[in-house]
Amino acid sequence: MSDKRDYYEVLGVNKDATDKDLKKAFRSLARKYHPDKNSDPGADDKFKEIQEAFAVLSDSDKRAQYDRFGHSGPQMGGGFSGFDIRYEDLFGSGLDDLFSNLFGGGGRRSRPRQARGQSILVRKKIAFQMAFEGGSEEVSVDTFLSCDSCSGTGGATRDDVDICSTCRGSGQITQTRQVGPFVQQTSGICPSCQGRGKIIINPCKECKGEGRKKKKQTIRFNVPQGVDTGMRLRMRGKGHVPKQGGVAGDLEIELVLDNHPWFERDGAELLMSLPVGFPDLMLGKTVKISHLDGKPLVIKIPSNSLAGHTLNIPGRGLPDGRGRRGDVIVLLKLHIPNKPSRNLKSQLETLKTDLSITDEDLESAILDEAKDRRS
């Protein structure tokens, strides 16, 4: 008696399941257990089991034999190694072609795949201000565009482009091979026309049969609020056009945020260091500096502040993408003049007596500082 699980149980369908039910169940399970997405130890065997069950139940003759004889049917023998199915094949419009090519059950002729041009990656430096308000920018790129003379066909005239005789215009050739009890059909790019489905008899003199020419074009794009270095914007169809027609690739723009004179960013928060004189730390002070939003940034330094302390100004940072703004965090740094004047030195000598800690009071001051730190 075979130790294989019931094929209907493998796919999770009833015995009266329709072809549509089988395809839906297979796609769902195949996407779940595909080795490219599931690294569990048993995923590969599970994926092959799903393929085997669908290969039998999707074929009306094999299904009839299985319903009558089970795994001991005349066409049920032999091992099953599984088909080479890419994870991407389990999505989109190509799924019907996958069912037809690998598992049979359809004489539908697949449409030729349109060639796709290469994508382009460029880097663009933008002003720090754009992280706050967004805006528009432009880049200049050298791109292969469709040849004006031949409209991208590559032929001197329309009559100079003929259908490929090897693939009959499909751009693909199909090969059939026996895998155990199953017949497997695989499709590949036609070597005669490189998948284009056509042959150039007399090439266009302007583009020499390529159907495209390199030109410089300036492309304007929008920069969203909150942008940061490393963000990429994708513009569909703005990349290279492939040879002899097809779908243009994409243009990817990687943004590099320019430095600000005093701000740095941490997400939606803005960080800055503020040099402060010793008297301002002791007595307090209010300063105003220009800001990204056009309104002065008011920084209130409380009396008895210490160098290294931070001040938090809420709601004056960058947009966070949820309708709010981050904060501005200000680090207080003690400012010491490089070349103090004689008058300043004289004043400091006078203050030294009042502000310095004597040797007798040093240990007591250290103990007080330790208590404040622990509390």
Token pair recorded at residue 155: 């032929």
Q: Please report how the helices 43-57 and 95-103 are oriented relative to each other, as an axis angle in degrees rounded to 10.
A: 80
Question: Do the beta carbons of residue 330 and residue 323 sit within 8 Å?
Answer: no
Split at pLDDT 50, 70, 90, the class of 302 is very high
Please indicate, yes or no, whether residues 359 and 289 belong to a single structural domain of this protein. Answer: yes
Secondary structure class of 123 (helix, strand, coil): strand
List the single range of 24-38, 217-231, 248-262 with lowest mean pLDDT.
24-38
- Stated pTM of the model: 0.55
Q: What's the mean per-residue pLDDT of the chain?
A: 82
H/E stretch holding 255 reads: strand 251-257
Q: Could you tell me if 237 and 303 lie in one domain?
A: no
Give the CA distances from residue 374 to residues 368, 369, 370, in Å, rounded to whole numbers and listed in that order. 10, 9, 6
Residues 6 or more apart whose CB falls under 8 angstroms from that of 318 comprise: 131, 132, 225, 226, 265, 267, 268, 269, 270, 292, 325, 326
- The stretch 200-215 carries a mean pLDDT of 89
Residue 2 lies in a domain: no
Q: Are residues 11 and 61 in the same domain?
A: yes
> The domain containing residue 83 runs over which residues?
7-103
- Report how many domains make up the chain: 3
Q: What is the pLDDT of residue 152?
A: 86
pLDDT in tens, 144-173: 999 988 888 888 887 888 888 888 877 788
Phi, psi dihedral angles at 137 (to 5 degrees): -140, 175
141 vs 136: CA distance, rounded Å? 17
In a domain, 279, yes or no: yes
Last residue of a domain, one of 257, 285, 314: 257
Residues 274 and 163 in one domain: no
Look at residue 39 and tell me if it is in a domain: yes
Q: Which of 257, 288, 316 is the last residue of a domain?
A: 257
Rounded mean pLDDT, 129-148: 91
Of 37-46, 125-134, 276-285, 317-326, the range with the lowest mean pLDDT is 37-46
Instruction: Tell me if 115 is assigned to some domain.
Output: no
